[in-house]
Chains A and B, each alone.
Chain A
Amino acid sequence: MQNSIPFTGKKVRTSRRFRSGLRKSWIPFAFLLPALGLYAVFFVYPFIFALGLSFQSWNMISPDKTFVGLANYRHLLHDEVFWISLKNSGLYVLLTVPLAMAIGLVLALLVESLWRGKRLYRLIFFLPVVSSIGVISIVWSLMYNPQVGAINVLLRMFGIEGPNWLNDPSMALWALAIVGIWKGFGYNMVLYISGLKSIDRGLYEAASIDGAGRWRQFRNVTLPLLSPVTFFILVMSIISSFQAFATIQIMTKGGPNNATNVLVYQIYQEAFQFFNIGVATASSVILLLIVGLLTVIQLRMSNKMVHYQ
């Protein structure tokens, strides 16, 4: 720091307090200390610890851990339940993410173009987002009751005999995906609305002067300019839908016959039901690799696909 007024060369004497206020570099670290300390104990250390545990065999109770190298990973590769849970996780993401995004976008476009009632619709559609996932899972599990649950009663009104949702292996994952979509679309809608608000109105005027109809305006103005929001929602939704746990734990326990056993639930079972800590942490490292890989791929793609104004 030069203690002189710029361009005049005049020396200025600054008070010691002022200098120290700008110079003492330990001050920001003092403010960061609580966060960094907590991260060290509850994030960095467990993270390294988990990596280590994934190469060990241990049951959480006995004092001795044995180093087993890659045996846990090998065990997983030969474990049928692991593959089923991996497939189910992927399926769940494919079922929930695109639908919740599409519904969010359509609702955002509809609500944003209204003359009146914008706030009320926003309020209603955001309600599922703030509802407690634990409590709502219980409500949904009763709704899926094949005889008197709301879903099948509603279908019966239209003359459709609904399935036995949670006990039918071909329907159970769909049933959970519906809850996931119900919980998530409102969040996407709010993000899309804020994206729509930030688009310059003049662009639409210019497009319509150039003779672009509504569909062309949507294709060539709205969608490209929403791409940063779309990208953000996509990354976030994939990460969070990989972590769906409460609905599965409460509604199906991974059943029937592992039809809804996803990777996160399989990790929970291995760790807290079978006490195979090594296998559970190895599985969680694989989860991390998958989520990390998907995020990197998306970041790469976004450089090509995302348009900023």
Chain B
Amino acid sequence: MFRLYRKLRLVEEGSKHILLIAFALLSLIPIFWMLATSFKDPQEVFAGHLFWSNAFNLDGYLQVFREIPFSVWAWNSTVVGVLQTLGQLIVGVAAAFAFAHYRFPGRDALFFFVLITMMIPPQVTMVPTYMIVGELGWLNSFTGVIVPHLASGYAIFLLRQSFMTVPRELGDAAVIDGCSPFGTMWHVYLRLSMSAISALTVILFVGNWNDFHWPLLVLSDKSMQTLPVAFVQFREEESLEWVPTMAVATLSMLPILLLYLAAQKNFIEGFKNSGLKG
């Protein structure tokens, strides 16, 4: 009886794996296909095979480094991604500390306002923000891409969630021991929330690196554009061949994929702390 039960369990487990593997392969097709096409011979593209390829051809990649200002785009993306993420963290930590550590009039209303900002579609404020950035003379500059997004509701929200788990007594003890407010934030709250902060850093960076709509509006100069924006425009204007297109696509995804694989635990855990209580 017990043996039969175990057998059934194994069959069940096996069939689940078969289902999941099938779905995993299906959902990975775009990634596989991008990789496979990037190594193909230009003629082979039109033979209509899915992944199979005769040649392992590096011409696409060589062409990228020869004719496409890829390193410029990658550098722009890196600068924007790093600075924007750092800024969002600094602004977010300071605001979250105020929300978590202090009681002051209007605190809950202000926090509710932060939540509301996440709900409002960015398209509503996009046109006026574009004009303000223009007035400030920030069009076509990294400043114009970065500064309007420094106050990130998502960052403030997640950091506050994690600061709320710091015991009140610890914060109060630091104050009693003569810690300055900044010191309290630094030594107590930041120290105890490092894992949440590292998860948030990865999430924010990936979001900033992948952002498309806003950089597309602000950055008109080719030498200033971030990777996705420059790549899209370059492809449209130069009617780039398939093989180099897929090579650029692969190279553009690579840093993010590596970051994701390195920090995956952080990344997926970070999403769970969104304060959902089942």
Q: Is B60 an interface residue when CB atoms closer than 8 A count as contact?
A: no
Interface residues of A: mostly helix, strand, loop or mixed?
A: helix
Binds B, one of A5-13, A69-77, A79-87, A224-232: A224-232
* Shortest Cβ distance from A292 into B: residue: B119
Do A153 and B276 contact each other (CB < 8 Å), given the known contacts A31-B97, A50-B127, A114-B16? no
Q: Is A303 an interface residue when CB atoms closer than 8 A count as contact?
A: no
A277 and B249: CB pair below 8 A? no
Q: Is B197 an interface residue when CB atoms closer than 8 A count as contact?
A: no
Residues of A close to B124: CB separation below 8 A? 47, 50, 281, 284-285, 287-288
The residues in A between 217 and 266 inclusive whose CB is less than 8 angstroms from any CB of B are: 225-226, 228-229, 232, 239, 242-243, 245-246, 249-250, 264
Q: Is A267 an interface residue when CB atoms closer than 8 A count as contact?
A: yes
Classify chain B: how many residues form its interface, as a range: 35 or more
B48 and A229: CB pair below 8 A? no
Bound complex: CA of A281 vs CA of B125, how far in Å?
A: 8
Do A134 and B212 contact each other (CB < 8 Å), given the known contacts A29-B98, A32-B98, A272-B217? yes
* Shortest Cβ distance from B184 into A: residue: A21
B29 and A135: CB pair below 8 A? no
A interface size (C-beta, 8 A): 102
Q: Is B107 an interface residue when CB atoms closer than 8 A count as contact?
A: yes
Do A42 and B232 contact each other (CB < 8 Å), given the known contacts A35-B91, A114-B16, A287-B124? no
A139 and B150: CB pair below 8 A? no
Residues of B close to A136: CB separation below 8 A? 30, 249, 253
* Shortest Cβ distance from B270 into A: residue: A190
Closest CB of chain A to B87's CB: distance in Å?
Answer: 9
Which of B50, B123, B151, B156 lies in contact with A267, CB distance below 8 A?
Answer: B123
B17 and A229: CB pair below 8 A? no
Which of B98, B150, B176, B227 lies in contact with A135, CB distance below 8 A?
Answer: B227
A/B interface sample: 6 pairs, CB < 8 A: A27-B98, A34-B150, A125-B27, A135-B253, A153-B48, A194-B276
Which of B37, B181, B210, B278 lies in contact with A133, CB distance below 8 A?
Answer: B210
Residues of B close to A94: CB separation below 8 A? none
Contact with A along B255-278 (1 / 0, CB 8 A): 011001100100110011010111
Q: Is A68 an interface residue when CB atoms closer than 8 A count as contact?
A: no
